[in-house]
Amino acid sequence: MASVLLFSFQDFFSRLFSSSSEDAYDINVLFLRFLIFCGIITAIIGGAIIISVIRFREGKKPDEPKQIFGHTKLEIAWTIFPLAIVIFFFVLTLQLMQKINKSIPKGKKADIVIIAKQWWWDMRYPDLKVITANELHVPVGKRLLMRVESADVVHDWWVPDLGPKVDAIPGQPNYIWLKAGKIGTFSGACSEYCGTQHAWMRISVIVESQAEFDKWVMNQQKIPDTPSDSVAKAGASLFEKKTCMNCHSVSADPTDAHVGPDLSHIGSRATLLSGKVANTKENLSAWLQNPQQLKEGALMPNFLLKHEEVKALTAYLEELK
């Protein structure tokens, strides 16, 4: 439930006080300052309105307050005071931006490359030659440089527990540092409207110990085994025949076609369709049977597969762990 109500109040407050990264904590503190300050201003203005309404209501004498049109001192005061508040928060924001957007050492290449696509996330680790989708694994406590770009329209990367958001813009890669301070799974979402399935462009960041991460990397680098049983074997040959390979790779090779998500280890992921449904046989079958019913607008065509074909392909894909 918590993953569905991504921005519930309970979630918000638990996030506010238990951020899982230093950057996210600093952002939350700044936001809280804004919130308190704006709350005070709202209370003052709201209070003044309520007092005026009661004090100068019809029938009460005097029914009109003393008019102060052209009061120079007052006009100066209510120009300078709000301006000072805006400048104060502008400076605080600039300071925090400078702290979070640490400069990138010369020649430093991105540890992780995120390519936003309608409507899922292509995730690559260039040095490790690993490619996956929607579920990012990172080792705890390591500061990683992330390059965020887009293959189509403007998207926006945001995992609130782990730091700031950043736009994914076609032709304009943006860089962001990611350092998770806590082990766990943290959810995020695309936060720039990007089309029909914008709401189902969820992100999952799995923060684990270095040893667990290394284990995951080793598995991801492995070329998947050939299927063991006959149904899955039939699925593997269908995968080639039905031109699935034109868009999806199952060879753990980042240089293969990646129009759609890499499927080399799809069986090891927790969700399908960028966090929309759990990774189960039933959901995968339903998707293969009629992609548009499960995620309208998705670029996956309906291949009008027969029941046995769906069964075989599902068996094959679920084996790719």
Q: From the CB of 23, what's the least distance to ligand CUA, in Å?
A: 22
Q: In terms of Cα–Cα distance, which of 111, 142, 137, 147 is closest to 126?
A: 111
The phi and psi torsions of 181 (rounded to 5 degrees) equal -100, 0
Are residues 157 and 190 in contact, defined by beta-carbon separation less than 8 angstroms? yes
Q: How many residues bind ligand CUA (CB under 6 A)?
A: 9
Angle between helices 230-241 and 307-319 (to 10 degrees): 100
What the block records as the tokens of 215 is 């284990």
Residue among 124, 137, 198, 276 that touches ligand CUA (CB under 6 A)? 198
The reply on whether position 276 binds ligand CUA by CB under 6 A is no
Selected from 124, 137, 147, 155, the binder of ligand CUA by CB under 6 A is: 155
Contact between 201 and ligand CUA (CB under 6 A)?
yes
Distances (CA, A) of 44 to 37, 69, 92, 243: 11, 21, 23, 65
98-137 mask for ligand CUA (x: CB under 6 A)?
A: ------------------x--x------------------
CA dist., res. 9 & res. 260, Å (int): 35
- 192 forms part of the interface with ligand CUA (CB under 6 A): yes
Q: Check binding of 298 to ligand CUA (CB under 6 A).
A: no
Is 25 or 119 the residue whose CB approaches ligand CUA more closely? 119
Measured CA to CA, the distance from residue 191 to residue 41 in angstroms comes to: 28
Q: Contact between 202 and ligand CUA (CB under 6 A)?
A: no
Q: Could you say which of 114, 194, 263, 288 contacts ligand CUA (CB under 6 A)?
A: 194
Question: Which residues bind to ligand CUA, rule: CB under 6 A?
Answer: 116, 119, 155, 190, 192-194, 198, 201
